[in-house]
Structure 1
C-alpha cells in the first residue's frame, strides 16, 4: 500500500462510492460499484463491499495499491499525486 494521501471533505461523512471518485481512485462513479462489489476496496485494512458505507474523517480507503485518507476540508490544499 502507498502512503495515504489526505483528501478533504466538506461534510461530517461521505459515502464510499463518492469518496472513491473524489480521491480519483476510480475514473467515474459508475466504476466504483464493480470495484466495491468485487472486493477490491479496503477501508481501514478490511475489504468493504458496501458502496454506501459512510466514511468518517481518518478512514483510509485503498484500491489498486493507492490509498486515500478522509480529511477535514482545511487540512490539505495540494493536488493529489495521481
Structure 2
C-alpha cells in the first residue's frame, strides 16, 4: 500500500481551470496534456470523477490523480503565506 503524496497549491485568484491546475501543480507538462488527463477519467475533484476539462477549481477543494492529491488554498487563508 502506497501513501498518497500531497501538493499544496495556493490560489492567487478566484479560481483556476482544472487542466491548468494539473499543469501548475506539475502533474503534466501542458494544459493540453491536462485536458487529456481529465478526459481519461482518472481525475477526481472532491472524491468524484470529473470529466469537465476546464471545471473551475476554488479554494477549499481537493483534486486527486492516482496517488497524488492537490489541496487548493486561497492566498488570503489565515496561516498560509503567499510566496
Runs (4+) of structure 1 exceeding 3 A deviation are none
Q: 1 CA distance for matches of 2:39 and 2:17?
A: 15
What stretches of structure 1 of length at least 5 have no aligned partner?
none
> In the alignment, which residue of structure 2 is the partner of 1:54?
56
Work out which structure has the larger RCO, using CA pairs closer than 8 Å and 6 or more positions apart in sequence: 1
Aligned length: 78
With structure 1 as the length reference, what TM-score do the two structures score?
0.82
CA RMSD of aligned residues (A): 1.9
Aligned 1:3-82 pairs, distance under 5 A: 3-73=5-75, 75-76=80-81
